[in-house]
Amino acid sequence: MNPDDYRDYILGFIFFKYLSEKQELYANQLLEGEAVTDFTKVEDPETLEAIREESLIKLGYYLKPEELFAAVAQKGSSKVEGESTYILDDLQEILRHIEQSTMDSESQEDFEALFEDLDLTSTKLGRTVGARNEIIVKIINALDEIDFRLEDIESDVLGDAYEFLIGKFAAGAGKTAGEFYTPQQVSTILAKIVTTGKTKIKSVYDPTCGSGSLLLRVAKEADVSEFYGQELNRTTYNLARMNMILHDVHYRQFDIRQENTLEEPQHLEYRFEAIVANPPFSAHWKGNKNPLNSTDERFSQFGKLAPNTKADYAFVTHMYYQLADNGTMACVLPHGVLYRGAAEHVIRKYLIEELNALDAVIAYQPIYFTVHLFLPVFWYLKNAVRQTIRLCLSMPVVKTITRR
């Protein structure tokens, strides 16, 4: 198996364990003072139904006692003629039931098809059914021994571990890493920029959110009420939703959508106080091949459309369009946006001279990125009042220039 395949299974099962332990912890809280206070021992149908209803409201999903991660691990650890008990069918059904438990509820969109990438019939896991079962049992049993410490509300051990694993998988993925992960050093700078002078943020948005790590990093710098994101890749979109839930972001507090941001934007009716992004560098888009783009309010005021083979400024103007009047935007872009001519020169000039929108440019050393390129971070302020642009090159050297 390649690292991407391991990523989907390991992160998926960590998420399943989290859901199970969260369910058991909440159910036990509901059972305090009852005759039976251990969720795993409840048999009364009415009690289980009451727990299910409360769980859907509080957690957004429901797991039966026999569907909990620990129960699956216990079954898999038993041996039949020297081999682990077969659990794949039961496990697949449990994952499906988690998704189905949310149907017609407020949380349905956040859980729909969430486990679709965990294909337990894939030959990548093993050539035979027995081989596939053995490797899944090993993963389940190994995770079962880890204490996620969910009882400690001050601890974010699991969230930090999840982020660490995503980062490790990104490092192993090489040049494709940027599709789902922004290096922590960079995401921290972006988060600090958009939260400067603020302890609370009403809403934060990432139009190319990947695994959602950049959105969550903003929440480490300020109290964020609502998270919004859009992601093109289906697998990464699922990972972003898992990441939100696993970091204890309530299902009512996040709205992650899967679609092409430039062609099918999902949040155009909103304006955001903070916007952060690490969009794909110099991506292709339809540009002037789509006649609707010339009248699209996200792009039309700038006089030119971003080149079809370099969508960098299309993402920039899309984000600027969705920025609230009191908002701040910070994004990572390839260094070419600083000097490329033609249409990009026109857009850049309008942003600086007409909108007074560009506040600072920070150029980073490539060591922060899995792909070694010279990359700046752009800092945009809507309705900026300063008449200078701050340039920070390789961090130690800062220079201020006048707008021109």
Task: Give dist(CA 38, CA 28) in Å, integer.
Answer: 6
Task: Give dist(CA 377, CA 366) in Å, integer.
Answer: 12
Give the model's confidence band at 241: pLDDT under 50 very low, under 70 low, under 90 confident, else very high. very high
DSSP β-bridge partners for residue 83: 80
pLDDT at 169: 72
Is 1.20.1260.30 the CATH classification of the domain at 3-155?
Answer: yes
Q: How far is CA 227 from the centre of its chain?
A: 10
241 burial class (0-12, 13-18, 19+ CB within 10 angstroms)? buried
Q: Tell me the pLDDT of the chain averaged across its residues.
A: 87
Q: Which CATH architecture does the domain made up of 168-402 adopt?
A: 3-Layer(aba) Sandwich (3.40)
Q: Mean of the pLDDT values across residues 354-364?
A: 84
pLDDT at 370: 42
Given a cut of 60, whether residue 375 has pLDDT beyond it is no
Give the model's confidence band at 373: pLDDT under 50 very low, under 70 low, under 90 confident, else very high. very low
> Which of these ranges, 3-7, 130-134, 174-178, 315-319, has the smallest mean pLDDT?
174-178
> Which of these ranges, 150-164, 180-194, 260-274, 362-376, has the smallest mean pLDDT?
362-376
pLDDT, tens digit (0-9, with 9 covering 90-100), for 272-285: 999 999 999 889 99
Given a cut of 60, whether residue 371 has pLDDT beyond it is no
Most confident of 13-22, 116-125, 351-360: 13-22
pTM recorded for the entire structure? 0.89
Q: Mean of the pLDDT values across residues 24-52?
A: 96
Task: Give dist(CA 389, CA 377) in Å, integer.
Answer: 13
- State how beta strands 323-332 and 375-381 pair: antiparallel
Give the model's confidence band at 6: pLDDT under 50 very low, under 70 low, under 90 confident, else very high. confident
Backbone torsions φ then ψ of 258, nearest 5 degrees: -115, 115
Residue with tokens 């949040």: 267
Name the segment(s) of the chain with CATH classification 1.20.1260.30: 3-155
Give the model's confidence band at 393: pLDDT under 50 very low, under 70 low, under 90 confident, else very high. low
Neighbours of 5 (CB within 10 A): 14
Q: In percent, how much of the chain has pLDDT > 90?
A: 67
Given a cut of 50, whether residue 82 has pLDDT beyond it is yes
pLDDT at 372: 36
pLDDT at 396: 45
**CA 64, 68, 74, 80 torsion-angle sign:** positive
Q: Strand 323-332's sheet: what is its strand order? A: 254-258, 223-231, 200-206, 272-277, 323-332, 375-381, 358-364, 388-393, 397-402
Task: Select the more confidently predicted residue: 333 or 378.
Answer: 333
Name the segment(s) of the chain with CATH classification 3.40.50.150: 168-402
